[in-house]
Structure 1
Amino acid sequence: MADFVWPGEQLIAAAREGDPEATAALVSGSHPHVRRFARTLCASPQDAEDAAQEALIILYRKIGMLRASGALASWMFRIVRNECLRRTRLTLRSQGPVPDAVVPSFEEEVFQRLEAARVADAIAALPADQRRVLIMRDIQGHSGRMTADALGLSPAAMKSRLHRARAAVRQALAEPAAPGREDGGHG
């Protein structure tokens, strides 16, 4: 598998400020990751391609809304996830009634969305160095050595940051969800 690196902070910052060349480079550089997310989340290869394209269009149109450069991966993951869910719902509706055992109840679906939003919030709240390690290892699936090399860390430092990141996410998820937080507050 080819190794892809997310676009850097300077490119993201330039795109957020409206630089058209930086925006084009950001969309192009994000494409391999977005496709990988979509392939793992969508029900069919066609839905994955469509969801990836839709996510890249949203990135192009709304990059100025991204609050922190380090949050690009989690933001794109949420966009792809939501697009895959939307496409799955459309497919299920077009196929007519499906037995209740196959389709999660409305409550289950809402709970799953809230939990996914809590995970995304917990990852976004991590310090940038821990967030990068966690995303590369646990979301993108890179090896420990490749993650350490890409971030300029020793394997021990990478493992330490990953351990702290995972512990912080576990702790955040162990706390009760804040009441009234249904959308995660992200754009």
Structure 2
Amino acid sequence: MAEVRHADPAVKRRAQARLVELVLPSVLGRARSIARTPADAEDAAQQAMIEIIESAKGFRGQGSLVRWCDRIAIRTTLRLLRRESRKLALVEGSIDPDMVASEGPDRRLSEAIPGEVQAYLAELSKDRFEVLMLRAQGFTIDEIASRTEASPNTVKDRLRMARKQVQRSIRQREVVAELGTKRDRGGGQS
């Protein structure tokens, strides 16, 4: 990474090329796991690589380089998806621009998740959904706080409330299913 920041343009270009070779497969994989389409994933990965190179001075070598790059890729992909959904809402004219940020979770992020789980996650607010997805990607509370511009306590609260809400939804659906089964059995005996 020191060479990526090097003053000599030739050294810098060679180091950047090596960095791209090393981390692009992982960055693209992270973007694909979040983005809705392959084109969106490629755009996000390209933007993430630009940010990785521009942020080279921020890498302190305290952890895995690939993991550090993956975090930038996830953050970049989420940001691009949010921006795209806002643009789409504005173009369609169906949503007030001030309300876009408070809408529910970006459905594109949950498309890779099995349908039943998606149904539970779809009930979460965008804030809760976002912190839950970032936590599932391995981000720490402090990293999530930094990325979402919320305090660590707010992140913890959103995670706790998201988990409670999903658990409550699961229990409610189990009770409804059980009641339906009992009613079906009782109805057949009449």
TM-score (norm 2): 0.48
Higher helix fraction (1 or 2): 2
Which fold has the larger relative contact order, with Cα–Cα distance below 8 Å and residues 6 or more apart in sequence? Answer: 1
TM-score (norm 1): 0.49
